[in-house]
């Protein structure tokens, strides 16, 4: 190998290493950049939730009973707010008996409240010691149990294909029922769905695409659903929906 050939080879190798280093540096910067913008957008995202509640209160001279009235999508853990730069916040809302309300941002991974808005104070609080802790009846425990059952029967793996299910009372939707969800599923059918394992079970009405089987997608739940744990205890959740342009819902608690 000539001296010139060696120089060219070394130059190419060095250039290749530099390109790889530049690629990972760019990814790292973008990661920090997205995180930075999301953290800086958090106050405006939080205030957007409150703004929608306050606007409803001003228009109807009453607080909303459920966040479905403000078109927030329901999830197992609460309601979903999709904000700027891909930010997604899961929150719970409580309409208190004294005319005030409470909004709590929930971290499902840590099973904790990370931000709280108590309307009389008109500010967000992220320090647990400064949060308002009220004695009130909520369904937080039921929701946690429902999530465990749901995650068991609807895992994010191919194992879901082996979980048995039954569909009863299948009928055409005819667009009579409009489901409150951002999922792009063509819900042309509805049916009573039962999904069960040897120890747990969940059942209720679902809207689904007749060409997409429940092994691929459980569809979109609506109305009353029942979730049974290993001891046979039943936990109930109502999934809000609209029928003939009328909202069918249960008040949040």
How far apart are alpha carbons 16 and 14 in whole angstroms? 5
Residue 15 lies in a domain: yes
How far apart are alpha carbons 106 and 76 in whole angstroms? 11
Q: Which of 136, 152, 168 is the last residue of a domain?
A: 136
- In the chain, the number of structural domains is 2
- Helix, strand, or coil here: 135? coil
β-strands 220-228, 201-208 pairing? antiparallel
Residues of the chain with pLDDT under 70: 1-42, 135-138, 157-161, 182-185, 213-216
Q: pTM here?
A: 0.75
**pLDDT attached to residue 160:** 60
Same-domain pairing of 121 and 155: no
Residue 62 lies in a domain: yes
The range of the structural domain enclosing residue 168 comes to 143-248
Same-domain pairing of 131 and 17: yes
Same-domain pairing of 125 and 165: no
Same-domain pairing of 120 and 163: no
Same-domain pairing of 89 and 149: no
Residue 212 lies in a domain: yes
Residue 253 lies in a domain: no
By the 10 Å C-beta count (0-12 exposed, 13-18 middle, 19+ buried), 206 is classed as buried
Q: Which of 92, 115, 136 is the last residue of a domain?
A: 136
**pLDDT attached to residue 53:** 96
**pLDDT attached to residue 67:** 95
What's phi and psi for 23, nearest 5 deg?
-60, -50
Same-domain pairing of 150 and 59: no
Same-domain pairing of 161 and 228: yes
- Which long-range contacts does 224-228 make (Cβ < 8 Å, 24+ apart)? 226/202, 227/145, 227/146, 227/149, 227/150, 227/200, 227/201, 227/202, 228/149, 228/200, 228/201, 228/202
**pLDDT attached to residue 87:** 80
Sheet holding 88-95, edge to edge: 73-74, 79-82, 88-95, 101-107, 112-118, 123-125
**pLDDT attached to residue 217:** 74
């Amino acid at each position: 190998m000539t001296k010139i050939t060696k120089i060219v080879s070394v130059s190419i190798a060095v250039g290749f290493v530099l390109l790889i280093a530049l690629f990972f540096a760019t990814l790292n910067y973008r990661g920090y950049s997205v995180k930075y913008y999301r953290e800086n957008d958090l106050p405006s995202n939080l205030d957007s939730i409150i703004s929608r509640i306050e606007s409803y209160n001003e228009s109807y001279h009453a607080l909303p009973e459920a966040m479905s009235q403000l078109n927030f999508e329901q999830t197992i853990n609460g309601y979903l707010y999709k904000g700027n730069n891909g930010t997604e916040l899961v929150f719970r809302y409580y309409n208190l008996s004294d005319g005030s309300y409470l909004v709590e941002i929930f971290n499902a991974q840590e099973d904790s409240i990370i931000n709280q808005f108590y309307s009389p104070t008109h500010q967000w609080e992220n320090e647990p010691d400064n949060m308002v802790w009220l004695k009130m009846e909520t369904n937080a425990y039921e929701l946690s149990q429902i999530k465990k059952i749901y995650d068991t029967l609807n895992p994010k793996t191919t194992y879901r294909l082996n979980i048995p299910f039954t569909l009863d009372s299948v009928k055409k939707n005819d667009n009579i029922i409009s489901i409150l969800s951002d999922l792009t599923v063509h819900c042309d059918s509805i049916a009573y769905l039962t999904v069960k394992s040897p120890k747990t079970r969940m059942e209720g009405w679902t809207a689904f695409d007749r060409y997409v089987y429940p092994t691929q997608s459980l569809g979109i739940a609506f109305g009353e659903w029942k979730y049974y744990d290993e001891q046979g205890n039943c936990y109930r959740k109502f999934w809000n929906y609209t029928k003939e342009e009328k909202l069918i819902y249960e008040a949040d608690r």
